[in-house]
Structure 1
Amino acid sequence: MNKTEFEAGIAERTGHPKATVSEVLQAFQELGVEALLRNDNIRWTGWMTVSVKERPGRPGKNPKTGETIDIAAKKKLTVRAGKDLDRALNG
């Protein structure tokens, strides 16, 4: 399901115009990004938890040349299913 289909489904279920739904989802996305940039978790009880984890830098090897390289540290997004979602997926 893409964003347009998601917006249309919400508009249909709620009776709100697609434009309004689109604005709300845009605000949801912006707030989510801002929270994750602050290293806050996003917890939606029963559905999921989204968080950012720091992955430290480490040495690695170039598979072509065998040369040792430094792999830079980076942030990684993690998503954990909540109980309700887990039950829905696994019966």
Structure 2
Amino acid sequence: MSLNKSELVSAIAAKSGLSKADAESALNAFQEVLIESLGKGEAVKVTGLLSVERVERAARTGRNPRTGEEISIPAGHGVKISAGSLLKKAVAAK
């Protein structure tokens, strides 16, 4: 089972006492801040919950899985998400 965005908004509204519209605004603002910060190369850390950071990927050689032909993969950026202690405890308890 997983929560989609509208289910997450409803859960946040129920836990916080906010209206669904306010909860969705807060979630959208968090999303925007996360995207803007990562775009600037800044990490975002929510202590105990998670940390998200942009990582650099070096250029490398790979293989086309269909043909086996070597291909050149250019350098770029990726995203690294690490679970905090609260998330790790929640998963271990289940």
Q: TM-score, normalised by structure 2?
A: 0.86
Q: Deviations over 1:54-91 (max 9, x none)?
A: 11111223333333221122211111111122122113
CA distance in 1, matches of 2:28, 2:84: 23
Q: Which sections of structure 1, spanning at least 5 residues, go unmatched?
A: none
Runs of 4+ more than 6 Å apart: none
Instruction: Look up the match of 2:51.
Output: 49
> % of aligned pairs identical?
37
For 1:66, the equivalent position in structure 2 comes to: 68
User: Does the residue aligned with 1:49 lie in a helix, a strand or coil?
Assistant: strand
RMSD: 1.4
How many equivalent pairs are there? 91
CA deviation map 1:21-56 (0-9, x unaligned): 111111110001000011111111011111111111
**What amino acid does structure 2 have at the position aligned with 1:70?**
S
Aligned residue for 1:19?
A: 21
CA distance in structure 1 between the partners assigned to 2:67 and 2:92 by the alignment: 45
